[in-house]
Structure 1
Amino acid sequence: MREDGVPSNICSAREPVPPRFNLARYCLAENARLRPDATALTVVGDAGAQRWTHAELDLKVRRLAAGLQSLGLPAGARVMIRMGNEANAALAYFASIAAGYVALLASSQLTFEEAEFMARDCGASALALGASFENEPHSGDFHVLRGADLARLAESAPIPDYVDTAADDPAYLVYTSGTTSRPKGVLHAHRAAWGRRPMREHWTGLGPGDVMLHAGAINWTYTLGVGVVDPLSAGASAVLYNGHPDPAAWPRLIETYRATIFAAVPGVFRQILKYGAPETANLSSLRHALSAGAALPSSLLADWRGRTGKEIFEAFGMSEISTFVSSGPTAPVRPDSPGRPQPGRAVAALPQEGGETPLRPGETGLLAVRRDDPGMMLGYWNREEEEREAFRGEWFVSGDIVEFDADGYMWRHGRVDEVMNAGGYRVSPAEVEKRLLEINGVVEAAAAERPGRDATATIIKAYVVMRDGAARDETAILDYCRAHLAAYKCPRAVMFLDALPRNANGKLNRAALP
């Protein structure tokens, strides 16, 4: 608590955002001038690695940006990118933004049905398809760009400079699960990249010459931001992997590419310790690791420290504002806490019952971030009511129940809504339940996050009530979910019940599910 009575986690001092600002220029143009021959991006696969220098990436982005402009898309058009963990995904993302369009990197795990919804919902003007999706029969009022189309556009004469955009102009969309059955788009401005600057000093420790290896898929905001945007904007090098899943690959990649920072979700660290034999690799280049997406258990942190001698800096963020609470070089780790708000952020716990006055240290409330943070979203795409509900005066209010201690460290106490967290992805129970109820014979359905076989990890579990006489076929239910839901949204187990538990008002009592 400061002398003026304001909690110590409320800080408004920050670097002002340049009024004219293009996210792609910020990440690429200066590096192409200062370090043209240094490696910018490496994507490693089973067949080898694809590597681009800063100068090559800048030129390729400006060429594809010119090609996209030749399609005659209107200013601010949405360009949806449906690709795997490949270099072209980063190329298409930056090129769309460089050309003055809004980029949407869609999860490669989405089913065709889910991808079609997303393209319609965002009003896409163009859909860029990766190799795994070339044969999908997309149709609509948008350009469908397959491999040959993208290759042709990428041969265009480069635009001389990145489009001159305002910091508040829309730059990219991400889709996230809320509490409804429909994913919603989160629209971010170009300034969102500038809003990530406090993370460099206070979480990632990134600087020129660093090599960031990220274990996630590029279309996830954690990977896109921490694994690509942050290293490029800092003059560092980004390494991604799209080879066969193998826990032993990560120590090997750290050694081969002399990674200085490794980022992953807790589940990946767990798999490395269990199956990856980190002691057999040379990890001397690694300064520290980063964890986000799910809570890092203190037991896992202790095991990693003991086996590798390296620290893990945890962080907490969300699609609407990215990462704003962390441990790091300036905030020593406190096990089971994700850290404290980064300097320059205004973060607080607000009373659950309402009001805008931050609670005192030790008091429990809803996690909130002040809406003037440069990393804050512009809003929810065509969801005005949900957007209004998300803000309380000058604060964006999440569904996370937290408290801050006297030193500003945050401690989590669950959520007030029912959003599940499976492997670092937020998933709405309603979205899973909608699919379960489509299955022949299912009359009631619920989904909940429950412990898996490993007590430190959780899974999505389905609870179904079948019509009298209908077969209780777990395999058929799981197969249907896999056909209609992205892999990370799918239940991993099914429990058959005679009735779902309900409260006195007839509403589902999710906490009472076995």
Structure 2
Amino acid sequence: MSGQDDAYREFRAARDLLLHHADDQDAARAAFKWPRPRWFNWAIDWFDRIAEGNDRVALRIVGQGELTFQELSRRSDRVAGWLLSQGVRRGEVVMLLMDNRIELWELMLALIKIRAVVAPAFITISPEELRTRIGRAGARHVIADHRIVPGLAVDGLVDGLQAKIIVGGEHEGWTGFANSEGHEGGYVPEGPTEADEPLFYYFTSGSTARPKLVVHTHVSYAIGHLASMYWNGLKPGDVHLNVSAPAWAKYPWSSLFGPWNAEATVVSMDSADATPQRLLEVLRSGTVTSFCAPPSIWRALIRTGLPDGLPGLRHAVSVGEPLMGDVVEQVRKLAGVTVRNGFGQSEVTAMAGVTASSPAAPVSMGYPLPGYELVVVKPGTDEPAQEGELCLDLSNGPVGMMRGYLDPEDNATSHTPGGLYRTGDLARWDSDGSLVCLGRRKDVFEGPDGVPIAPLELEHVLVLHPAVAELSVVPVSEGTALLPKAYVVLSAGWNASRATAEVLFAYQREQLPALKLVRFVEFVDGLPRTESGKVQREAVRLLRRSRNVEYTAELPTAQA
């Protein structure tokens, strides 16, 4: 056990160093060194260690119940032994279609222990897409929520899979997860786990046509999320509520590795229960000390009615897509907390973020987190720049970086000529050394005067007008030129009219240079989103353009 003992001590030392420097990011960055164990199984070498004799609550599912660290450790051992009895083996891919229920965390820990590869998918996935993902991932087994199993049992969708396990119910041809409760065989680990063994297959968000398949190892997520823990500001005894489905890479960030690395309590809700009203009830209870949600959820909470103050809440963070200033200001005004932005990807854990003690603007990307070196380069090169493509320097071997994409063709374009990892985002260094996100590189287009137009920059301006609840700016063709158009969801009390459009046009002329002005506005009831809540810009671009409901800005004479 000496190898595993060393891994535990090295991991704990790195974790404790980050906790010690929780209020000094510069000191944390200077002192932090990634643990690099040869063998590491987070569920065995970390979770089981901190769970021994630990009767503090590890997991609370609102409306379902709670489990202590020790209870989860023991139950996951039983589930691990039962999964082996069902034929699930080390290295085999398990397609996981689950919502947030207690069994999910038992299964996650158990699958990590037996060294299976977990490939999560949304429970709302279409049969066609699931068939594609089963094939791309090479899945051998499936574990699914009882509510979707009838749909999976048609058209031979999962007939070729070995173990078919149903959670929360029964169905012919499927094995009930409830049977695991009677398993008495126990669980003995099959030797030490190599640190670079694959553990997770995560599909990217799907905001583009073809999601990439990301491979993470037993260390890249488990150890890599020490940085995510640091950004969140979590510490032992905290109670952390996260809004995320298991198929979104935000789940291991904030519902698994991040909080349990800190020995905090995870609080979660089934997606059907996670309404704005129900979330506010939980937040008002005063039991939650930290809350993470994407911007779309923060907006929903604002519309529903944030209370004056949220007792007990120390940390409020957001990730998934850029955080806008209107959300920060409204939450600060209504609830008395500052929502902080973070930046990461399915491919990497949190790389940059606004920590609780950071002087950076809450809507910025903040500063690089401990263990990460970020650089801005001229697009397509390795030449440093003040503004350009954001890349991750791999020279120090950041542990939180994926092992790679499963499909070789995706790896071919993921690095610069000099070996930097391309995030695909554009950014600039601010005067205080923090990073400002300018949006995805693929979203930036060239205006008729040759000026690059970043839709996110225009959105950050227009969303601050009280008429705008949310919006998306995309290029539209006008003759041979590309011009910016805003699809706007209006705030309550504003009418979709020429008068409102003129108000927005006048406002932007005060805030933006003439060459970057939005030329067209169309008011819509909502914006297309991915399962994880991100605006689907590709879908927005494909919205049918109607001159009947589109308002055109009158340009200054010099620009007409």
TM range (shorter): 0.7 to 0.9
Q: Write the distance in 2 (CA, Å) between the matches of 1:370 and 1:9.
A: 18
Corresponding residue for 1:386?
410
Q: Is the 8 A contact 1:81 1:93 kept in 2?
A: no
Corresponding residue for 2:37?
18
Q: Which has the higher contact order (CA 8 A, sep 6+)?
A: 1
Identify which range, 175-184 or 113-122, moves more after superposition.
Answer: 175-184
CA offsets 1:365-415 (integer angstroms, 9 cap, x no match): 21111232100001111x112112102243211211111234331112222
Corresponding residue for 2:438?
413
Structure 2 gap segments, 5+ residues each: 1-26, 168-174, 445-454, 457-473, 475-483, 493-525, 548-560
Q: Is the 8 A contact 1:249 1:276 kept in 2?
A: no
Structure 1 residue 453 corresponds to structure 2 residue 477: no
1:293 to 320, 327, 330: 320
SS at match of 2:428: strand
Q: Write the distance in 2 (CA, Å) between the matches of 1:450 and 1:132.
A: 38
1:11 CA drift (Å): 7.2
Q: Is the 8 A contact 2:61 2:267 kept in 1?
A: yes
Corresponding residue for 2:280?
251
Give % identity: 26
1:299 CA drift (Å): 2.0
Count of residue pairs the alignment pairs up:
431
Q: Is the 8 A contact 2:391 2:420 kept in 1?
A: yes
SS at match of 1:318: coil
Superposed counterparts of 1:406-445, under 5 Å: 406-418=431-443
Q: Is the 8 A contact 2:53 2:70 kept in 1?
A: no
CA offsets 1:292-330 (integer angstroms, 9 cap, x no match): 111111122111111111122210111100211101134
Q: Which amino acid aligns with 2:280?
A: P
Q: Which amino acid aligns with 1:143?
A: A
1:38 to 32, 46, 56: 56
SS at match of 1:128: strand
Q: Could you say if the C-alpha distance between residues 408 and 487 of structure 1 is closer, same or farther in structure 2, counting changes exceeding 3 Å?
A: closer
Corresponding residue for 1:506?
none
Structure 1 gap segments, 5+ residues each: 1-7, 422-428, 430-447, 457-477, 500-514
1:62 CA drift (Å): 1.4
1:166 to 194, 197, 203: 194
TM-score by length of 1: 0.76
Corresponding residue for 1:139?
159
Q: Is the 8 A contact 1:93 1:104 kept in 2?
A: no
1:158 CA drift (Å): 2.9
Superposed counterparts of 1:127-206, under 5 Å: 127-135=142-150, 136-137=152-153, 138-147=158-167, 148-156=175-183, 157-161=185-189, 164-177=192-205, 181-192=209-220, 193-201=222-230, 203-206=231-234
Corresponding residue for 2:346?
319
Q: Is the 8 A contact 2:306 2:334 kept in 1?
A: no
Corresponding residue for 2:268?
240
Corresponding residue for 1:86?
101
Q: Could you say if the C-alpha distance between residues 126 and 344 of structure 1 is closer, same or farther in structure 2, counting changes exceeding 3 Å?
A: same
Q: Is the 8 A contact 2:315 2:356 kept in 1?
A: no
Q: Write the distance in 2 (CA, Å) between the matches of 1:374 and 1:487.
A: 25
Alignment RMSD (CA, Å): 3.3
TM-score by length of 2: 0.70
1:91 CA drift (Å): 2.1
Q: Write the distance in 1 (CA, Å) between the matches of 2:303 and 2:106.
A: 35
CA offsets 1:3-47 (integer angstroms, 9 cap, x no match): xxxxx9997952332221113235521221152x11111111xxx
1:66 CA drift (Å): 1.3
Q: Could you say if the C-alpha distance between residues 497 and 304 of structure 1 is closer, same or farther in structure 2, counting changes exceeding 3 Å?
A: closer
Q: Write the distance in 2 (CA, Å) between the matches of 1:367 and 1:73.
A: 40
Superposed counterparts of 1:435-514, under 5 Å: 451-454=487-490, 495-496=543-544
1:50 to 45, 61, 65: 65
Q: Which amino acid aligns with 1:199?
A: S
Structure 1 residue 223 corresponds to structure 2 residue 251: yes
Corresponding residue for 1:370?
393
Q: Could you say if the C-alpha distance between residues 75 and 453 of structure 1 is closer, same or farther in structure 2, counting changes exceeding 3 Å?
A: same
Q: Write the distance in 2 (CA, Å) between the matches of 1:34 and 1:395.
A: 45
SS at match of 1:158: coil
SS at match of 2:344: strand
Q: Write the distance in 2 (CA, Å) between the matches of 1:354 and 1:262.
A: 38
Corresponding residue for 2:140?
125
Q: Write the distance in 1 (CA, Å) between the matches of 2:486 and 2:125.
A: 23
Q: Could you say if the C-alpha distance between residues 487 and 494 of structure 1 is closer, same or farther in structure 2, counting changes exceeding 3 Å?
A: farther
Q: Write the distance in 2 (CA, Å) between the matches of 1:153 and 1:407.
A: 55
